[in-house]
Chain A
């Protein structure tokens, strides 16, 4: 960034500038060592395993096996569910965070929402799937009560919990809290003075948001949406418990290979995981590109 270049060109003592950058490198080293020891090295086996056959010889067959209709359709469906739940979660989460932080509501709502979101963010897997089955399933509480009290047949409208959209709605239970928790501090950072200044200059609320607040928040919103996407992409327990044998997603295939009772093609499982890592890397790249474009606006 331009400002950074300016800083380093200041005519202060050269040794001080050098040590600042070096200090920064030293400062981030613990993180990289930790990541190496506890994230990268343990997964090296995965990287290597994707290129090995059961006897341990190098092979590209695992990657070639990825090119089957089942697997490709699994990736596509995974991507669809992840994108749907990430975007929906981001939108609803943003509105809830906005309501709690800037919405002019009573003081106690914010900490209640934050702590609740903390718990809900990890309420996933079988308990969550069962909660939704017990509520919105064919004999779920809401379905039955709607039928008995309101005469409204939920499943008559074509709604089915055990479907793509049912799964997305279930995923929102931990996606929305994640968005709320991470965006709320960013909303804190919107200074009151900016709002007042824009009002003084005659801007409407919509213009304030469009030209001042959103551009500032945009990188954070983008980054959190990416987090939501990756979070959903890697989720397996909820999908397995809810739509297990009818919806074909990558994580279930992966688990079938690595953990299952029947299949045991580890090389294929690792190749699937490698594919997932690749997709996550690509979406990270897309996020960076989008963010850089928006940051050009800020300057």
Chain B
């Protein structure tokens, strides 16, 4: 039918017209980006000072509002209560928040910055929330820009970059999330998991060759088995999981809320904040208990950073200010994450008692170990390389 040919050619013409129209829009975007680049250039000089006067903060708020939008990436709403935190930010400052790919891993976030270097469109992330080891590596690659929030001094030194490129945001410890409808006795420590009543029960929340959560899980098990000796933790962890697998207790499925509820993975090793949020979401169906192990309590820190190529740098800085303000930090605490300024907040009595009550007992956190960057790197190296040969399919 010639009409079909007409349809095809006219749709091609239409497509070109749209693209050309896109060019016109794009010019306007470029002008907007140019005007916001100017205050951004002067901002870093101002913000390296410590305490915020009302004026620089107001200037930042105005500049951010002029940009109008913040683009985030890899922030699931159930993770650390990010849903509520984002809503709080939107309500307080009236900016729109453009959320990219909440399913992204840290590697994805770095890739997104790299790929969007020349892009000022809404696909370019302004801020990232990545695993600890990605902070220094993205600094070396020149992907992030420095910024020190107003509350900079209350952030522990071990959890931030001295020049302000990256800064820890929250931490949690690895715990057991147990479906207590299926599993009658609760495991109290890592060694309990090897017991015969937990056949086909234990799962990790990720792939130990790729996921930070899973690797820290193996490391924590090893730390418990090695009696706290960090240098032996990785190997001991691998051996623990090999034993777990041989005993038939280990389920290689990636543990998720659905597989916990269904019964395929009634015990999942994951960050306590995820486990607690999950307990709330499931709302008693099934009953969930979250147990922090007695030994081998490993804490994991995540870090925030602003992209060096952020299309909305002032909005990004405002976001950081919000996150590190008391309001933002308590927002994370509501999501069961320990914000990085937790000790400071508790000392100043700013944490409501009900919130403290909802967390696991503070005693569990006293034994928490924060692996250094080097320890993490060594553990990562050993576990990812040897998982298959010691625990996995190559053994079969």
Contact = CB atoms under 8 A, between A and B. Distances in A.
Physical contact A–B (CB less than 8 Å): yes
Interface of A: 69-70, 73, 77, 126, 129-130, 133-134, 137-140, 162, 240-248, 252-253, 255-264
30 contacts: A69-B389, A70-B389, A70-B394, A73-B388, A126-B256, A130-B262, A133-B253, A137-B262, A162-B251, A240-B207, A240-B254, A244-B207, A244-B252, A245-B204, A246-B252, A252-B207, A256-B207, A259-B210, A260-B105, A260-B107, A260-B209, A261-B106, A261-B107, A261-B213, A262-B210, A262-B212, A262-B215, A262-B384, A263-B380, A264-B137
Contacts of B206: 244, 261
A278 B14 CA distance: 38
- Most chain B CB neighbours (cut-off 10 Å) among A77, A140, A255: A255
B337 to A, nearest CB: 17
B131 interface: yes
Contacts of A246: 252, 392-393
Contacts, number: 118
Contact of B258 (A130, A138, A245, A263): A130
A245 B255 CA distance: 11
Given A245-B391, A252-B207, A256-B384, 15 more contacts: A130-B259, A133-B259, A139-B182, A241-B254, A244-B254, A245-B204, A245-B208, A253-B209, A256-B210, A259-B104, A260-B211, A262-B131, A262-B215, A263-B384, A264-B107
Interface of B: 104-108, 110-111, 131, 133-134, 137, 182, 200, 204, 206-215, 251-254, 256, 258-259, 262-264, 380, 384-385, 387-389, 391-394
A248 B393 contact: yes
Contacts of A70: 385, 388-389, 394
Contacts of B104: 259
Given A133-B253, A262-B131, A264-B134, A139 B262 contact: yes
Contacts of A243: 252-253
A240 B389 CA distance: 18
A263 B210 contact: yes
Nearest to A163: B396
Contacts of A255: 210
A133 B254 contact: no
Contacts of A240: 207, 254
Contacts of A252: 207, 209-210
Contact of B380 (A126, A134, A262): A262
B82 to A, nearest CB: 17
Contacts of B204: 245
A76 B48 CA distance: 54
Nearest to A249: B393
Nearest to B134: A264
B244 to A, nearest CB: 12
Contacts of A263: 107, 209-210, 380, 384
Contacts of A77: 393
A162 B106 contact: no
Nearest to B138: A264
- Most chain A CB neighbours (cut-off 10 Å) among B206, B209, B251, B256: B209
Contact of B210 (A73, A129, A242, A261): A261
A73 B387 CA distance: 13
Given A73-B394, A133-B253, A134-B262, A258 B209 contact: no
Contacts of B258: 130
Contact of A261 (B131, B253, B263): B131
Contacts of A140: 264
A73 B394 CA distance: 8
A297 B262 CA distance: 55
Contacts of B387: 245
Nearest to A247: B393
8 closest Cβ pairs, A-B complex: A256-B210, A246-B252, A260-B210, A261-B212, A139-B263, A244-B254, A259-B107, A261-B105
B253 A162 contact: yes
B107 A258 contact: yes
Contacts of B393: 73, 77, 246-248
Contacts of B263: 138-139
Nearest to B140: A54
Contacts of B105: 259-261
A257 B385 CA distance: 12
B262 A245 contact: no
A202 to B, nearest CB: 45
Contacts of B182: 139
Contacts of B107: 257-261, 263-264
Contacts of B213: 261
A102 to B, nearest CB: 30
B233 to A, nearest CB: 16
A244 B208 CA distance: 9
Contacts of A162: 251-253
Nearest to B379: A262
Contacts of A258: 107, 111
- Most chain B CB neighbours (cut-off 10 Å) among A133, A247, A264: A264
